[in-house]
């Protein structure tokens, strides 16, 4: 929901989110690493990263579209 709003207002876009995938994976790994065992770590890390990937696709589909000057009827 937050990614949808930020993408619609043009604060984030698909390119920015896609470029920072490695940092999202690192951040979700760090957050999940505070739990006791390896299985719990993956149970927490995978959904966190999948939510980031969903937000990347939401930004692609619902993000603010750039207006192409050649398509606005001025020529």
Nearest to 52 by CA among 11, 14, 10: 14
Q: Is residue 75 part of a domain?
A: no
Query: How confident is the prediction along the chain (75 residues), in pLDDT tens digits per residue?
Result: 898 999 999 899 999 999 999 999 999 999 999 887 899 999 999 999 999 999 999 999 988 776 666 666 554
Q: Which residues contact 7 (CB under 8 A, 6 or more apart)?
A: 13, 14, 58, 59, 62, 63, 64
Q: Is residue 74 part of a domain?
A: no
Count up the domains in the chain and report the number.
Answer: 1
- What was the pLDDT predicted at 44? 93
Q: Is residue 69 part of a domain?
A: no
**Residue 23 lies in domain:** 2-63
Distances (CA, A) of 54 to 18, 36, 37, 40, 64: 11, 27, 26, 22, 17
Q: Is residue 70 part of a domain?
A: no
Q: Is residue 25 part of a domain?
A: yes
**66 burial class (0-12, 13-18, 19+ CB within 10 angstroms)?**
exposed
Q: Is residue 29 part of a domain?
A: yes
Q: Is residue 48 part of a domain?
A: yes
Instruction: Give pTM, 2 decimals.
Output: 0.78
């Amino acid at each position: 929901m937050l990614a949808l709003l930020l993408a619609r207002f043009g604060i984030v876009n698909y390119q920015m989110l896609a470029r920072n995938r490695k940092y999202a994976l690192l951040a979700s790994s760090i957050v999940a690493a505070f739990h006791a065992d390896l299985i719990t770590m993956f149970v927490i890390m995978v959904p966190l990263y999948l939510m980031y990937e969903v937000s990347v696709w939401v930004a692609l589909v619902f993000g603010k579209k750039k207006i192409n000057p050649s398509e606005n009827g001025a020529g």
